[in-house]
Amino acid sequence: EAQVTQNPRYLITVTGKKLTVTCSQNMNHEYMSWYRQDPGLGLRQIYYSMNVEVTDKGDVPEGYKVSRKEKRNFPLILESPSPNQTSLYFCASKTGTGAWTQYFGPGTRLLVL
Amino acid sequence: SQQGEEDPQALSIQEGENATMNCSYKTSINNLQWYRQNSGRGLVHLILIRSNEREKHSGRLRVTLDTSKKSSSLLITASRAADTASYFCARPTGNQFYFGTGTSLTVIP
């Protein structure tokens, strides 16, 4: 089944404790992206990647890192999480330039205490 | 901000009625997408309307685009309880996507 998977689905952590949220897609998509969703603000793009070893900042990249060492994986790293990073996070992927439909993962709900 | 504004924020209707939600941006729109999100789950793409299209239909969905007003609307006709969800517009710009703030639709059986 074609899908985007994220792990973990739920995470409670404390301020300053590094964490990684994994994202994997099995559709051979070039483009992958991370979003955060907050009430009343919709989805905001954190980082995106056009292909392996190519990453770019989205609208709200502060406090996050990403890497794209393999085509299928695009982990989101929070080096020193803070309470304002408590949010619902989504990974998405799509084929390359010219295609617009993104396929979303199920989401990761993060609480930073 | 390049994010879109959607209204209404929340909409509650009876099954069988039509639901209309609107999306507007402060910057120009070339292509515009609509996505549906069921209760905190991942978004699902519904429809894309291109800048050279004024109106597009897909099943019970009708989308309009007014590039001069930088706005779009989504109409769901003959709504069903299963249409209960949040709906988001999204504006692709280059390699980035700017989503709207969302409309929460409740369809009462």
Question: Using one digit for the tens of pLDDT, what is the confidence trace for B47-92?
Answer: 999 999 999 999 999 999 999 999 999 999 999 999 999 999 999 9
Q: Closest by alpha carbon to B103, among B73, B71, B67?
A: B73
Shortest CA gap A5–chain B (Å)? 10
Measured between beta carbons, which residues in chain B are less than 8 angstroms from residue A43? Answer: 43, 88, 90, 97, 99
**Where do the DSSP E strands lie in chain A?**
4-7, 10-13, 19-25, 31-38, 42-51, 54-57, 65-66, 76-78, 87-94, 103-104, 108-112
Q: What is the mean pLDDT of chain B?
A: 95
Continuous segment of H or E residues that includes residue B58:
strand B55-58
Host H or E run for residue B57: strand B55-58
Note whether B39 contacts A: Cβ–Cβ < 8 A.
no
Confidence (pLDDT) at A36: 98
The mean pLDDT of A22-39, rounded to a whole number, is 96
Residue A24 backbone class (left: φ over 0; alpha: ψ -120 to 50; beta: rest)? beta
B46: nearest CA partner in chain A: A101
Mean pLDDT of B5-33: 95
Are the C-beta atoms of residues A5 and A90 closer than 8 Å to each other? no
Length of chain A: 113
Q: Given this model, what pLDDT does residue A25 score?
A: 97
Q: Which of B95, B98, B103 to mutate to test the interface with A (most CBs of A within 10 A)?
A: B95
Is pLDDT above 80 for B101? yes
Tell whether the model's pLDDT for residue B30 goes beyond 90. Answer: no
- For the stretch A46-105, pLDDT in tens is 999 999 999 999 999 999 999 999 999 999 999 999 999 999 999 999 997 777 899 999
φ, ψ for residue B54 (rounded to 5)?
A: -95, -30
- Residues of chain A with Cβ-Cβ distance to B43 below 8 Å are 43, 90, 92, 102, 104
- Tell which residue, A15, A12, A37, has the closest CA to residue A82: A15
Average pLDDT over residues B28-37: 93
**How high is the pLDDT of residue A96?**
75
What is the pLDDT, as a whole number, of residue A44? Answer: 97
pLDDT greater than 90 at residue B17: yes
Which residues in chain A are closer than 8 Å to B86, comparing Cβ atoms? Answer: none
**Mean pLDDT throughout A13-18?**
97
Chain B residues within 8 A of A51 when measuring between CB atoms: none
The confidence score (pLDDT) of residue B39 equals 86
**Closest to A58 measured CA to CA, from A84, A83, A92, A11:** A92
Q: C-alpha distances in angstroms, B51 versus A47, A97, B6, B62, B92?
A: 26, 17, 19, 15, 11
What confidence tier does B34 reach under pLDDT thresholds 50, 70, 90? very high
